[in-house]
Amino acid sequence: MIELCPIGVVHVDVEDDDLQRKGSVEGVIEIYDEFKEGLHLLEGFSHLILLTFLNKVDAEARKVLKVRFRRLQQSGVPVELLPEVGVFASDSPHRPNPIGLTIVRVTEIKCKAIYVSGLDVYDGTPVLDIKPYTPFRRIEVIEVPEWFSKIASYVKREP
Amino acid sequence: MIELCPIGVVHVDVEDDDLQRKGSVEGVIEIYDEFKEGLHLLEGFSHLILLTFLNKVDAEARKVLKVRFRRLQQSGVPVELLPEVGVFASDSPHRPNPIGLTIVRVTEIKCKAIYVSGLDVYDGTPVLDIKPYTPFRRIEVIEVPEWFSKIASYVKREP
């Protein structure tokens, strides 16, 4: 068993249901006092990779290995385009280790509070780690499966 | 305390010291039998985001909050360009939650073995999660601090 500790918490002023509808929102990443020294020289990175622990995913949902992107029907994706995929081929929060990976845009850093946009996690979500998003993280030429391209053409963000 | 379980393990045929020198190598991500259903439809993604638990980082190293990229002197970076930075502004394995994030290129998927290049973790490193690298993960316009740009001009991969 691997043990991790929260280094901070995400604050968003949005109800859980509204977050699902909006997709992404502005908010604050609060880093706990004991870890704030780790933010030294973080200023100047326009984007960060935020790793969170999706603590509302319960034990049953951690057993899920295949998912169907049903909520994408709300975005107008025809149901026949929604295959059942393995969780590791998806961004589903339902997965054995529910670690959220969000690329956020930094608005401002004030002491131990990082103001960001692009958050897709609930208010109170524990923060596991923050890494700078650098040119080394940006792969220029990538390929995705055809089923993914078809879905992606209907949505503006990660299915 | 947050508890996670390994879903697989990384195999690389390289000694630990050689990995540090080479920077990145080819290898295999083995997914354990009980999780292999989660790989369904992963074929076709050229790149994956691999999250690992850097299990050679000991308790003392998990207390580190500021680092200096000393090993970059080997890449010819002048020592005066190596500032002391917070761990969250770096990719250092020394950090409170030593989660490794590696973007790997897929060569082949055979049942529960994912053959990849671009690995930067030691043989035997536990795998926490795999997510597809999609166009949504690629941010077109980013900014980095001046100290980072100066260092990056000397190296080919993440400092």
Residue A115 neighbours by CB under 8 Å, 6+ apart: A26, A27, A28, A106, A107, A108, A109
The reply to whether residue B95 touches residue A129, judged by beta carbons under 8 angstroms, is yes
Tell how strand A25-31 and strand B2-4 pair up.
unpaired
CA-CA-CA-CA torsion sign (B135, B99, A17, A83): positive
- Least Cα separation, residue B130 to chain A (angstroms): 5
Q: CB distance B38–A95 less than 8 Å? A: yes
Among the four given CATH numbers 2.40.30.70, 3.90.1300.10, 1.10.3720.10, 3.40.50.300, the one describing domain A8-152? 2.40.30.70
Averages of pLDDT over each 10 residues, chain A, 159 residues: 96 90 91 98 98 97 92 77 93 96 97 96 98 93 94 71
Q: What is the ipTM of this complex?
A: 0.94
What is the pLDDT of chain A when averaged over all its residues?
A: 92
- Cβ-Cβ contacts under 8 Å between A and B: the total is 226
How far is A81 from chain B, CA to nearest CA, in Å? 14
Position B157 pLDDT exceeds 90 = no
Q: Percentages helix, strand, coil for chain A, rounded to the nearest 5?
A: 25, 35, 40
Sign of CA dihedral A34, B49, B148, A125: negative
Judged by CB atoms closer than 8 Å, whether chains meet at B86 and A41 is answered as yes
Residue from A2, A5, A92, A106 to probe the interface with B (highest B Cβ count within 10 Å): A2
How near does any CA of chain A get to the CA of B17, in Å?
23
Fold for the domain defined by B8-57+98-135:
Elongation Factor Tu (Ef-tu); domain 3 (2.40.30)
* pTM, full prediction: 0.95
